[in-house]
Structure 1
Amino acid sequence: MRGASETAVGAALDSGDPLSGTAGFAGEIDDRLVRDVLGRYPLFVEDASDDGLPEWSSDPSDLDDPRSFPAGHVRDKRGTRRVFSLPDPAPLADDEAAVATVRDAVETSVDAVDTAGLAIAFSGGVDSALLAARLDAPLYVAGFPDSHDVEAARSAADLLDRDLRVVELTHDAIERAVPEIVAATGRTNAMAVQIALPLYLTAERVAADGFDRLAVGQGADELFGGYAKVAKAPDDPRVEAETVRGAQREVVATLPDQLERDVLALRAAGVEPVAPLLHDRVVEAALGLDDHHLVDGDTRKWALRQAARGSLPEAIATRDKKAAQYGSLAARELDRLARQAGYKRRMDDHVTQYVESLVE
């Protein structure tokens, strides 16, 4: 069992509580396979013809025909079935109570992280800055020299009076890393590779510097209303929900697929991810927020930003940040490499075609 003790997982199964106080789990317990409700740990299976459990692993390369085991499900001799679903609590009405709940959940989860062998993926935004402000571990940012993330990370590190290690991205590094990311994740679509690139190259450097764990801010955008499509609900066609809170739940439901990609990429680079903002207590706090706690006017992640004021300077707590693939310029430069290789934008999904050519 990875991520939690068998005792904790057994208690979660007995109670049916999807947010029982862990940071996720996946594996075998009492002749059952189980994966937590958000899929924070990957789990793959290979169907067997007998009535026993299938072959399984946390690493898809261990299996001949790996299939992702669904989050929130259990498999035993009776088959595969859902046992965990995210709760849908009534939203908190009081703004101060909402912020206090988020602050307590975030600070407790971050402060509980063991810093032995730990580094922090730091982009200068509120999510990673909360980790940097409360954990004594070195900070790393990846990006091209003129990228937004490098500039933002440098200014935020100065405000926090912390040293920063910059992983400078290059075209050669991208071309080398793309096949390695594809091999680790099994994904060739452009967006998946673009997102994984800065994480993977950061993790490589972290591992080379002697660290084996990387703290990341994953989950904060999904949980706290960080996406434009959530802020614009119900007018954004990318979500079906009629409310901001409904759109939040839509994007939270995408986490199992996203986390599988990120965890596999980081492990392939030589580190184990640590994601304190995805602890059960943080998830529970976020699901209890109302629309205006998630998005207040033009301010996304309002409750998280308010909660962060106790740990961060105002300039960081209120700062907007681009997604890593854009802030690092990894997406732009992968597109540039694709076009230089003859995969023009008029072609269907030209960057994915380029990625597939590198793998071939």
Structure 2
Amino acid sequence: MNFKAIEFLKSGNLEIQDYDLDLDSALQSFNKYLEVNLKRIIGFNNALFLSGGIDSSILAYKLNDLRIDFKALIIANEKEPDYRNAIEIADKLDIEINEIKLTLDKFENIIPEVIKILSDTEEKQVNIAAPFLLGAKYLQKKGFEIAILGQGADELFCGYQRYVDFLQVNPDQFKEFHLNDIKESVLQNFTRDNAIFSNYGIKICLPYFTENIIKLALSIPVKFLVNNEVKSPIKKFFLREYAKKLGIPKIIHEKKKIAIQFGSGSYKLLRKIALKNGFTKEISEKFGYRRHVQLYLDYLAQELGIKELGLNIDEITRILKI
């Protein structure tokens, strides 16, 4: 449902905006655009991927305010903080919850399928895609039509540490850096996520990732994206201010960014799975790998005939059996 935004990014018409918006005006415009974007899914069977972070919490509050029918899908290890935050938001808004609890066996069983769909073994991509694949399967089984995701918000509104780091070194070039990062990162992420969900006949809705909000994000003064006027710079300052206006609990709008693979617990699980299969740090170093998880994923892809990566499978297998 976001293909117009994709075409907009690819068209080359995306430019650095130079409007001197004040914070209140920008927040009002954002609210208007977000409501327009969310109203497009009225009448569908919708599931919001609720992580407990600020991005999905904003969407939950707005969907609730607009009385758009949706249910929450929470995918996480119940020991992780994201799980507890997501449950709190759902309970506060009285949203019907669907849960998928990440377990070692469940995660291990889908890794080959993730690699096959993505044709990619990069550890970070597999970590992010695996929970989405579990979710897509679940939605298909339950008859949902649309998965609502908070993807794109971190790139558009500067939620990553790389924005703080760049701003501190090259403030005059920040806008250009931000623009290029949106083009590269958001397109890559959309390609990954759409591949996973479309494989199960589920459409994805990315309310933040639309032409109107992309243009707005590029017109917001940098000081409202990253607040550098405090001892510890505040990333995604703009969305945090918006969340305050919605009445989202302080524990959500003030918490530090946790990447999806860490918040859901998938990062820990994948490390455990690699070790369980014998892929230790020592073995990975023997074959020129810095990370044991990456060797495991590459080995799995080549052994199953998904992707040829030039590994000596027989030698690795022999060492694993010692």
Q: TM-score, normalised by structure 1?
A: 0.73
- Runs of at least 5 residues in structure 1 that lack an aligned partner in the other structure: 4-22, 27-34, 39-71, 73-82
Q: Does 1:333 align with 2:269?
A: yes
- Runs of at least 5 residues in structure 2 that lack an aligned partner in the other structure: 305-322
Q: CA deviation at 1:103?
A: 2.2
Deviations 1:292-345 (A, max 9, x none): 111114322112222233434242444434111110110111011112212223
Query: Residue 134 of structure 2 aligns with which residue?
Result: 201
Query: Residue 80 of structure 1 aligns with which residue?
Result: none
Q: Does 1:225 align with 2:158?
A: yes
Which of 276, 288, 296 is 2:219 aligned to?
288
Q: Does 1:94 align with 2:16?
A: no
State the number of aligned residues: 285
Query: Residue 52 of structure 1 aligns with which residue?
Result: none
Q: Does 1:184 align with 2:117?
A: yes
Report the Cα distance in structure 2 between the residues aligned to 1:178 and 1:355, rounded to whole angstroms: 8
Deviations 1:130-170 (A, max 9, x none): 22221420101111121122111012222323232221111
Query: Residue 314 of structure 2 aligns with which residue?
Result: none
Classify the secondary structure of the residue corresponding to 1:155: helix
Does the CA-based 8 Å contact 2:132-2:197 persist in structure 1? yes
Q: CA deviation at 1:227?
A: 0.6
Q: How does 1:256-275 map to 2 (within 5 A)?
A: 256-275=187-206
Does the CA-based 8 Å contact 2:160-2:257 persist in structure 1? no
Report the Cα distance in structure 2 between the residues aligned to 1:317 and 1:112, rounded to whole angstroms: 26
Classify the secondary structure of the residue corresponding to 1:197: helix
Classify the secondary structure of the residue corresponding to 2:98: strand
Report the Cα distance in structure 2 between the residues aligned to 1:307 and 1:273, rounded to whole angstroms: 24
Which of 175, 178, 186 is 1:248 aligned to?
178
Report the Cα distance in structure 2 between the residues aligned to 1:357 and 1:305, rounded to whole angstroms: 42
Q: Does 1:24 align with 2:13?
A: no
Q: TM-score, normalised by structure 2?
A: 0.81
More helix by share: 2
Over the residues paired in the alignment, what is the CA RMSD in angstroms?
Answer: 2.3
Tell which has more relative contact order, 1 or 2 (C-alpha 8 A, sep 6+): 2
Q: Detail structure 1 runs of 4+ shifted over 3 Å in the superposition.
A: 240-247, 308-312, 316-321
Classify the secondary structure of the residue corresponding to 2:261: helix
Does the CA-based 8 Å contact 1:224-1:286 persist in structure 2? yes
Query: Residue 9 of structure 1 aligns with which residue?
Result: none
Report the Cα distance in structure 1 between the residues aligned to 2:58 and 2:52, rounded to whole angstroms: 10
Report the Cα distance in structure 2 between the residues aligned to 1:308 and 1:166, rounded to whole angstroms: 24
Q: Does 1:110 align with 2:81?
A: no
Classify the secondary structure of the residue corresponding to 1:142: strand
Classify the secondary structure of the residue corresponding to 1:166: strand
Residue type of the partner of 1:213? I
Deviations 1:223-252 (A, max 9, x none): 00111111222458xxx8755444422321
Which of 107, 132, 153 is 2:86 aligned to?
153
